[in-house]
Structure 1
Amino acid sequence: MPQLAVDGAGLTYDDEGPRDGDGAPLVFIHGWTANRHRWDHQMAHFAQRRRVIRLDLRGHGESDGAPGTILELGGDVLALLDHLEVDRFIPVGHSMGGMIAQTLALGHPERIERLVLVNSISRMTYSRGRGLLMAASTLVPFKLFVAANIQRAFAPGYPREEIREYIRASAATPRDVVMTYYAAMRAFDVLDRVGEIQVPTLLVHGYHDIQLPVSQMLRMAKDYPDAVVRIVDAGHELPVEKPAELTSALDRFVSGKV
């Protein structure tokens, strides 16, 4: 796989599909402790007629580098796109990747054609009890902390063996990367600015998401000037739980059919 050096990190990425294909390139941005293969279904579908790009964020998957901030992860994405000579694009972000996508849309609106957020929100909100529980969870052994978070990311009934594989992959992410970005997500807050995002935006969310509840997504959706909402019978890991449904919703949106 090709790799690009950016600010002390080696970013592994894929760049597929026709350069003169239909519309602006799709740029897929994965979430916390995940990797670029969360988007396998979407990449295979869209690469047939459109340029598609995905990367492993620094410290994740096959990319290395010390962790930083959500804003710095956005900088990594832009550095890769500059290297690939991509100007306008459509960021598709899952969970933490959606936070990165919103940061890009706010900081570089001239480069954003459309915006897609999958199981992502603009501000994490907790009850007092939930906040205390999440703070306490960071005190348990690292592998147990990761396992608990990944286990609850899937809707009831998802195959246990597949969940165990995702837990193993997430636990392979360096501890400092996991904990730094866990804190960064908890602190992320652009809810008061989403009204500035003027491009058409697709918000796709799993009904059974207890990591980032659908109620929080709906609260931010009303502030987007031009938003389409899709609720899917899935948990937080929508790209792998219901890949065909996500691909279909994304296909209709980028084709201007919704």
Structure 2
Amino acid sequence: MPQLEVDGALLTYDDQGPRDGDGVPLVFIHGWTADRHRWDHQMEHFSVERRVIRLDLRGHGESGGAGSRTIAEPARDVVTLLDHLKVDRCVLIGHSMGGMIAQTIALDHPDRVERLVLVNSIGRMTYSRGRGLLMAVSTRVPFKLFVAANIQRAFAPGHPREEIRQYIRASAATPREVVMTCYSAMRAFDVLDRVGEIEVPTLLVHGYHDIQLPVQQMLRLAKAYPDAEVRIIDAGHELPVEKPAELTRTLDRFLTSKG
């Protein structure tokens, strides 16, 4: 379990697979209140033939540090890790907040990104009526209730309740300060008017039942990309753990396609 100190935060990461494997390394970035194990299925599959890197963002999982007040902060952490690992170019794959981080890196360091994959992510936060109400009361309800409400909504109808409870417990273990500052960072995130600058092949994968970041918002983002492929999967917001095998197959097809 290697770690790297970045600006006072000890970041935990995994770096697996052959260094001389096919293609540039894959870099997986998890979402809000999650950790690097959201990508277990993809890690196991892809690290057989190519280098795969994933990390716990600061304050999440097994990484230390305070919460990030802007999406640019964890983006800098990821770039620092890539510098440390001597990775000059990669495929960035981000889920939800991780997709926001990936887009930020692609805009700030276009020479470092060969392809881009956004899983249940968007370019500008817009809110449904229900989401807006939840945000309005978020600071007035107990922290664990706030986290539980968000994670419960993240899964498609019919997902096993015990598994949802496990993810609620894991998310609630994330320090409150980290959860709330990252939540504010996501609310302020907006690159919708800039993503036309991202010219690398891009895949947008979204859960049809996502009510956290509805599919219509992703489609608006897809229209802004000059070279975007869209895939809709029968899942909610937590696509990497709801339909891990289907997501892996979708990534496989995109990574092996000519772009």
TM-score scaled by structure 2?
Answer: 0.97
Q: What's 2:188 paired with?
A: 187
Q: How far apart are the structure 1 equivalents of 2:4 and 2:232?
A: 36
Q: Which one-letter code corresponds to 2:9 in the other structure?
A: A
Shift of 1:131: 2.4
Shift of 1:136: 1.5
Shift of 1:138: 2.8
Q: How far apart are the structure 1 equivalents of 2:214 and 2:163?
A: 23
Q: What's 2:232 paired with?
A: 231
CA RMSD of aligned residues (A): 1.1
* SS of equivalent residue, structure 1 residue 191: coil
Q: Are 2:86 and 1:90 equivalent residues in the alignment?
A: no
More displaced 10-residue stretch of structure 1: 131-140 or 84-93? 131-140
Where does structure 2 lack aligned partners over 5 or more consecutive residues?
A: none
Q: How far apart are the structure 2 equivalents of 1:183 and 1:216?
A: 19
Q: What's 2:41 paired with?
A: 41
Q: What's 1:31 paired with?
A: 31
- Residues 110-164 of structure 1, C-alpha deviations (whole Å, 9 max, x = no match): 0000000000000011256742442223321000000000001000000000000
Structure 2 vs 1, CA of residues 149 and 128 (structure 1 numbering), >3 Å: closer, same or farther? closer
Aligned positions of 1:134-173 closer than 5 A: 134-173=135-174
Query: Are the equivalent residues in 1 in contact too, given 2:131–2:212 (CA < 8 A)?
Result: no
Q: Which one-letter code corresponds to 2:53 in the other structure?
A: I
Indicate the percent of aligned positions where both proteins have the same amino acid.
82
* SS of equivalent residue, structure 2 residue 89: coil
Aligned positions of 1:108-257 closer than 5 A: 108-127=109-128, 130-256=131-257
Where does structure 1 lack aligned partners over 5 or more consecutive residues?
A: none
Q: Which one-letter code corresponds to 1:20 in the other structure?
A: D
- Give structure 1 regions of 4+ aligned residues with deviation exceeding 3 angstroms: 127-130
Q: How far apart are the structure 1 equivalents of 2:232 and 2:258?
A: 17
Q: What's 2:11 paired with?
A: 11
TM-score scaled by structure 1?
Answer: 0.98
